[in-house]
Structure formats: structure tokens, C-alpha cells
């Protein structure tokens, strides 16, 4: 009910005991008693007969109790109508997303599907430019993309997280066990990476990675599973946005090393257009995605997304990276 004090009053009438009424309402007895006293002060009438134990209600209290019961019934009807309305929501919601956000989408789609079972979703991976254009041209109902001034002018936005990148490598290989590395140090590693122009990388990171690839041996692919398979050999490392890395969380063979944020931190946001009328499904998705429950779960996932950091292993057990310079050094040692 909108006013929990009325709920306390109904519980007290049912239990005829302050302690049991408080327990039924999941509050302490002093909290329940104080709330009822505040209600009496607001109404200007004594509601509960005073005594060491519950002795019933005053005449004014019986009037308030009767109104509280009728209000509770009406409120139940209102909630049922809202539940029925949710079930009637139907249609297809068009969502444009960054490729790096795909592992996170179930955090939104599961609760949305549970609340609106008749709604359909069309989720398409697009570039930030295409997403912004889709919002502007009304070809998208919802966007999950990088925040910028133009998007904020066109849309109602809510920040989800700050984009970060990490090095993925096999446990025991070179640089294993470090907490952080610079982008410059990537030039010392053979890399197997997703193409820099894919939507899993921001503009600045794409430029940096392209420059690095021009100075080190590498494999470029559009298949994330090829990246995982090659990194597991210990001969290549990779660079991935943090959400993509969730797909290999708790992998016993792999670990990650954090890369510094380049330039100004970029937020990934969920957005719906400011234009009217806004799709009811879009409003509903935005409400679900920005709820405390969903955002809390999202942040916990991001905090635990990484594969566990491996402790440095003795040299005899380390997996040696295959690089031309190391190969030459090995031949000389023989």
C-alpha cells in the first residue's frame, strides 16, 4: 500500500499483538509503534487504546481501520491491472548495440522478457555512428552505445559502465602475473585480435591497436572463438573489451592484464529517443535496464568478469612464447 502505516494498522487488527504485527510486517516493534503514533498525530485522533498490551481500537481507530482495509483491496486491484497490462505489451522492440556489449545483454533481456512475455526483441550489432543515426532517424527504439553530446541531445540516457580493455594471455606465458601493462608493451607480443575496425573497439583504441599491429606479428580475425583458441596455445596474446572477456570467465588456462584507459573515459549508456511519442516498449526496456536490481547485477558481473589472475610460476613450468628473437637466442645458446 502507498502508506505502510495503514498496512501496520491492518496487521495489528489481525494479530491483536504489537510484536506479532511487527513480525508480520518485517519491522521492529518500536518502528511499528512509532509509525502508528505518527499516523495518530497526522490525523489528530487517537487510534489505538493505550495500555501495556494491545487493547483494541478507539471509535476513530475503527473508522481509520475500515478505510485502510478498503484501500488495501483497491490497491490490490490496481496492482493486478498493472500486471495484466504488462502481459498485454506486444510488438517488436528494435535495439542497436555495440558488439562489445553482447555478453551483457542477457542482464537486460531476461528480466524484460519475464515482465513482458509478449514482447519481441530485434537486437542488431552496429557501429556507434549507425546507432546514433538510427536513433535520429527513428529506425531504433533503444540504443546501447557510447555516450556523447549529440546522443545526449537526442536521447534520454543512463550510464551503464566505463569502457575498459585488457590483455588476454595464457597463464604462465610472458608477462603472466602482472597487474597492468601499457599499450606500448603490446608491441613485444605476437597478437591474435579481432579486427580493429569491429564494433568491439572504440575509435581511439582502434587507432592505437592498428598502429601496434603495424609493428608486431599478428593474426586479425572477426571470430572471437579463433582468438580464444590461439591465445590458449601460449603463442599469441589478445586485446578485448572487458564485457567480451566475460565469455571466458573462470577459464583455467587464461588470465588478463589491465590496460590503461586512453584519453577521457568513455561511458557506455542505454538510451531511448526524446522524441514523442516514445514507444511504450522502449520506455519499459529503459525502466528495466536502469532499475537498481539490474544495474547492481550488471556491476557485479563486470567486477567478476575477469578470469582469475595467475600467480607467477617457476621458470621451468612457464609456457615460453614463440617469437623470432627468442628463437634466435635459443639457437645461440645451443
CATH number for the domain spanning 209: value is 3.40.190.10
The pLDDT of 38-48, averaged and rounded, is: 90
How many separate domains does the chain show? 3
Report yes or no: 172 and 310 within 8 Å, Cβ to Cβ: yes
Note the pLDDT tens digit of each residue in 278-323: 788 999 999 999 999 999 999 888 876 544 443 343 433 333 333 4
Q: Is there a domain that residue 314 lies in?
A: no
- Judge if 51 and 196 occupy the same domain: no
Q: Is there a domain that residue 201 lies in?
A: yes
- Judge if 102 and 227 occupy the same domain: no
- Judge if 195 and 212 occupy the same domain: yes
Per-residue confidence band for 25, with pLDDT thresholds at 50, 70 and 90: confident
- Judge if 276 and 293 occupy the same domain: yes
φ, ψ at 51 (rounded to 5°): 170, 175
Q: Is there a domain that residue 333 lies in?
A: no
pLDDT surpassing 70 at residue 88: no
Record the pTM: 0.60
CA 278/CA 123 separation, integer angstroms: 18
CA 9/CA 23 separation, integer angstroms: 13
Task: Using a pLDDT cut of 90, give the percent of the chain over it.
Answer: 34
Q: Is there a domain that residue 244 lies in?
A: yes
- Judge if 143 and 286 occupy the same domain: yes
Q: Is there a domain that residue 179 lies in?
A: yes
pLDDT of residue 328: 43
The conformation of residue 105, written as its DSSP 8-state character, comes to T
- Judge if 170 and 248 occupy the same domain: yes
Q: Where are the alpha helices (DSSP H) in the chain?
A: 4-15, 18-24, 29-43, 59-88, 106-115, 128-136, 149-154, 203-213, 224-232, 242-245, 280-289, 292-303, 324-333
- Judge if 82 and 152 occupy the same domain: no
Per-residue confidence band for 83, with pLDDT thresholds at 50, 70 and 90: low
Q: Is there a domain that residue 146 lies in?
A: yes
| Contacts of the segment 203-211: beta carbons below 8 A, 24+ positions apart | 203/128, 204/262, 204/263, 205/165, 205/239, 205/262, 208/183, 208/262, 209/239
- Judge if 173 and 245 occupy the same domain: yes
Burial 144-168 (b: 16+ CB within 10 A, else e): bbbbeeebeebbbbeebbebbbbbb
- Judge if 270 and 258 occupy the same domain: no
- Judge if 200 and 269 occupy the same domain: no
Note the pLDDT tens digit of each residue in 192-219: 999 888 877 888 888 999 999 999 999 9
Longest Cα–Cα distance of the chain, Å, equals 102
Q: Is there a domain that residue 309 lies in?
A: no
- Judge if 146 and 176 occupy the same domain: no
Domain range for residue 22?
Answer: 4-87
pLDDT of residue 145: 93
CA 146/CA 137 separation, integer angstroms: 18
Q: Is there a domain that residue 243 lies in?
A: yes
Amino acid at each position: 500500500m502507498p502508506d505502510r502505516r495503514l498496512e501496520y494498522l491492518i496487521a495489528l487488527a489481525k494479530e491483536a499483538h504489537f510484536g506479532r504485527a511487527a513480525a508480520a510486517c518485517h519491522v521492529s516493534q518500536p518502528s511499528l509503534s512509532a509509525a502508528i503514533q505518527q499516523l495518530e498525530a497526522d490525523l489528530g485522533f487517537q487510534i489505538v487504546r493505550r495500555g501495556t498490551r494491545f487493547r483494541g481500537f478507539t471509535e476513530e481507530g475503527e473508522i481509520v481501520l475500515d478505510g485502510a482495509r478498503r484501500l488495501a483491496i483497491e490497491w490490490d486491484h490496481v496492482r493486478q491491472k498493472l500486471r495484466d497490462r504488462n502481459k498485454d505489451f506486444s510488438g517488436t522492440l528494435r535495439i542497436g548495440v555495440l558488439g562489445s556489449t553482447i555478453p551483457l545483454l542477457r542482464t537486460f533481456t531476461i528480466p524484460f522478457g519475464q515482465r513482458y512475455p509478449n514482447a519481441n526483441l530485434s537486437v542488431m550489432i552496429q557501429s556507434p555512428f549507425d546507432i546514433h543515426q538510427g536513433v535520429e532517424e527513428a529506425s531504433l527504439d533503444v540504443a546501447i552505445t557510447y555516450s556523447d553530446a549529440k546522443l545526449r541531445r537526442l536521447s534520454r540516457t543512463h550510464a551503464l559502465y566505463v569502457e575498459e580493455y585488457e590483455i588476454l594471455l595464457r597463464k604462465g606465458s610472458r608477462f603472466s602475473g602482472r597487474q597492468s601493462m601499457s599499450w606500448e608493451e603490446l608491441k613485444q607480443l605476437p597478437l591474435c585480435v579481432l579486427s580493429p575496425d569491429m564494433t568491439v573497439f572504440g575509435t581511439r583504441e582502434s587507432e592505437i591497436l592498428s598502429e601496434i599491429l603495424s609493428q608486431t606479428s599478428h593474426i586479425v580475425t572477426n571470430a572471437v572463438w579463433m582468438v580464444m583458441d590461439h591465445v590458449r596455445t601460449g603463442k599469441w596474446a589478445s586485446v578485448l573489451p572487458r564485457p567480451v572477456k566475460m565469455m571466458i570467465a573462470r577459464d583455467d588456462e587464461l588470465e588478463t592484464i589491465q590496460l590503461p584507459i586512453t584519453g577521457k573515459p568513455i561511458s557506455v549508456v542505454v538510451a531511448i529517443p526524446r522524441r514523442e511519442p516514445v514507444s511504450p516498449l522502449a520506455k519499459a526496456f529503459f525502466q528495466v535496464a536502469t532499475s537498481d536490481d539490474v544495474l547492481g547485477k550488471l556491476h557485479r558481473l563486470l567486477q567478476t568478469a575477469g578470469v582469475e589472475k595467475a600467480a607467477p610460476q617457476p621458470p621451468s613450468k612457464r609456457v615460453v612464447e614463440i617469437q623470432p628473437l627468442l628463437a634466435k637466442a635459443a639457437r645461440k645458446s645451443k
